[in-house]
Amino acid sequence: MGKTDVISVRIDKNLKEKAKELGINIKEVVEKALKEEIAKRKAEKIKKLAEKLSELMKDVTPEEFTRLVKETRYER
């Protein structure tokens, strides 16, 4: 794990007490939930970009796509 930062979050008091009673490590749960939400949002963003790209390329044939990729490689 890299550097850490301190955040402050207000949660329902009963929720905190129940978590404490059950031995739940709130820090670990919050970090896991944030990681999952970040992954979910990245996936949604990629999906939207892929849909947009698909719409932009709907008229490009596989042969034309192949030709364009090869041309781009030669330009490097």
Q: How far apart are CA 72 and CA 10, in angstroms?
A: 52
Query: Is 3 within a domain?
Result: no
Q: How many domains does the chain have?
A: 1
Give the model confidence (pLDDT) of 36-57 as tens digits.
999 999 999 999 999 999 999 9
For residue 58, give both structure tokens.
């709907």
Full domain range(s) for residue 56: 13-75
Query: Is 1 within a domain?
Result: no
For 35-45, give one letter per residue: b (16+ CB within 10 A) or e. Answer: eeeeeeeeeee
Give the model confidence (pLDDT) of 4-21 as tens digits.
999 999 999 999 999 999
Query: Is 7 within a domain?
Result: no
Tell me what pLDDT residue 4 has.
Answer: 93
Query: Is 8 within a domain?
Result: no
Cβ–Cβ under 8 Å, residues 19 and 26: yes
